[in-house]
Amino acid sequence: MDTQERDFEGNGSLLIVDDDPEVCTVLEKYMAKKGIRAKSVADPLKILEHARENTHDVILLDVVMPHVSGLELIPEIKASCPETKIIIMTGYADKDMAIASLRAGAFDFLEKPIDYSLVFHAVSRALDAQRAERQVKKTHEKLKQSRDRLLAYKKRVDELNRQLVENNQALSALAKNIDLARKECSREIVLKIRSLIVPVLERLRKDINLKSHYEELNTITRTVETMTADLAAELELSMLLTPHELRIASLIRNGLTTEAIARHLFLATGTIKTHRKNIRKKLGINHTTHSLKDYLRSEFTPS
């Protein structure tokens, strides 16, 4: 529908500022028929007070008035009511005045004698522009709020990530300490068994009164030695290698090839080869002709 033909059904308010009461009255009635709430002020000295006390979407402002020029009032009105659209009207139109009013902050410029349909058209465009600006401002505020929420969420996520990293570091340190404590405990067990139980068994085997139990004591001694030898071998290996290298070393000792280990652990063959090199280096197997499998079986498997 053409802007000139539509009614606003009470949407939008207009303030008419003209020192001619007749012009004010006619414009008020015409705009009321178009659904725009209109009021008028004949005294230009009261416009600022009226504008501050009453919110108007559009001000229709005459330029040439007694005591004060409409051009002089534009900056003061915009300062008090920045969202209000100002439409200048004058019977002394010229190019310079039009440019001056627009530069001062006016939305549009109309020439007297007034064509009421053109006035309505200008007011309608001013209201449309104002609604669009308010919608843009509202959208901008929503975007700003969304951005602030996203920044707050990101800050929270960053903080949680930081805490997670710290917790992971703490857990890694704890796991390392537990592993070290386990290895130390195993070592102490081996030392205790070897230093306490085995010597006692040896003395018992030499006791003439227990000669009839020699075979039983001999069996117990071999069993304890075998148990401690196995623990000692595993402990020594675990002290040298990482948990991942220990797993690979165990598979090598059991006879698995590099390709088979790669398939078993879902790793690349090159990765297994790198681990084999590291294991050989840590175990001091420098000569390439020496078999890692044979070394692990001979050195770390109890007889």
Report the chain's mean pLDDT, rounded to a whole number: 81
pLDDT confidence bin for 254, thresholds 50/70/90: confident
- Tell me the two tokens of residue 112: 């007297």
How far apart (Å, rounded) are the C-alpha atoms in residues 194 and 180?
21
- Tell me the two tokens of residue 271: 């990765």
- Tell me the two tokens of residue 280: 């050989």
Return the minimum-mean-pLDDT range out of 63-72, 82-91, 147-156, 221-230. 221-230
Residue 102 vs residues 60, 86, 116, 148, 152: alpha-carbon distances, Å: 14, 9, 21, 36, 42
pLDDT confidence bin for 238, thresholds 50/70/90: low
Instruction: Name the pTM for this structure.
Output: 0.49
Q: Which residue has the higher pLDDT, 74 or 1?
A: 74
What is the model's pLDDT at position 7?
40
What is the model's pLDDT at position 197?
76
CATH 1.10.10.10 in the chain: give the residue spans: 241-303
Summarize pLDDT for 259-279 with one digit per residue, the tens.
998 888 888 999 999 999 998
Percent of the chain with pLDDT over 70: 84
Q: Which residue has the higher pLDDT, 184 or 218?
A: 218
What is the model's pLDDT at position 87?
93
Whether the predicted pLDDT of 188 surpasses 90: no
Instruction: Give the helix ranges, DSSP H, for the chain.
Output: 21-33, 47-53, 70-80, 95-104, 116-192, 198-206, 214-240, 243-253, 258-265, 269-283, 292-300
Give the SS3 label for residue 90: strand
What is the model's pLDDT at position 187?
65
Question: What CATH class does 241-303 carry?
Answer: mainly alpha
What is the DSSP code (8-state) at residue 254?
A: T
The CATH number of the structural domain formed by 13-114 is: 3.40.50.2300
Whether the predicted pLDDT of 6 surpasses 50: no
Summarize pLDDT for 28-59 with one digit per residue, the tens.
999 999 889 998 888 777 777 777 777 789 99
CATH 3.40.50.2300 in the chain: give the residue spans: 13-114
Between the ranges 134-138, 208-212, 291-295, where is the mean pLDDT highest?
134-138
